[in-house]
Amino acid sequence: MAVHAGSPEVYWIDAFLKSNKIQEANRSRLAQSIVSSAKKYDLNPRLIASVMVVESRGNPFAISGQDAVGIMQVHLPTWGSAADREGINLLKIEDNIDFGARILKNYVRQYGLWDGVKRYNGFIASNPISEQSAQQYVAKVQQVYQDQQP
């Protein structure tokens, strides 16, 4: 789904990313990819952008201590084989955002908005120890999602 750099949605998400201090170098590319994936998966682009801000602050080469990579911090032990099978380059901005948005959409569809965001972060209901960490993560995403409007 082609999204043009000059579209109002891309302009708005670019401004949203700027307000969250995402570096200018990749911001237009990030905004276009976020809007494109949001349309494709019927998600609010601000939700995808908020998760991305919390996960990587827009760093396409981010790698976590939990083996998550890229813009959306896709967890390799969980999703790496699927990405390999589909030829998805998780260090490429567009691929990582699209795959991350698809994962997020599946969790949101299955568990609802904020419980889906918790699942995206790796929350497992059978592990009560992870509940506090998951709640803190959701609070961070909500803060960006609700309070940062250009």
Using CA atoms, how far apart are residues 58 and 71, in angstroms rounded to an integer? Answer: 6
Please say whether the beta carbons of 120 and 140 come within 8 A: no
Class of domain 8-147: mainly alpha
What are the residue boundaries of the structural domains of the chain, listed by start?
8-147
Q: For strand 68-69 and strand 74-75, is the pairing parallel, antiparallel, or unpaired? A: antiparallel
DSSP 6-54: TSHHHHHHHHHHHHTT--GGGHHHHHHHHHHHHHHHT--HHHHHHHHHH
Tell how far CA 35 is from the center of its chain. 12
Specify the pTM.
Answer: 0.91
Please say whether the beta carbons of 69 and 37 come within 8 A: no
pLDDT digits (tens, 9 = 90+) for 98-131: 999 999 999 999 999 999 999 999 887 666 667 8
Tokens found for residue 56: 């990587």
In tens digits, what is the pLDDT along the chain, a chain of 150 residues?
456 667 899 999 999 999 999 999 899 999 999 999 999 999 999 999 999 999 999 999 999 988 999 999 999 999 999 999 999 999 999 999 999 999 999 999 999 999 999 999 988 766 666 788 889 999 999 999 987 454
Q: Which of 75, 59, 64 is nearest to 122 (CA)?
A: 75
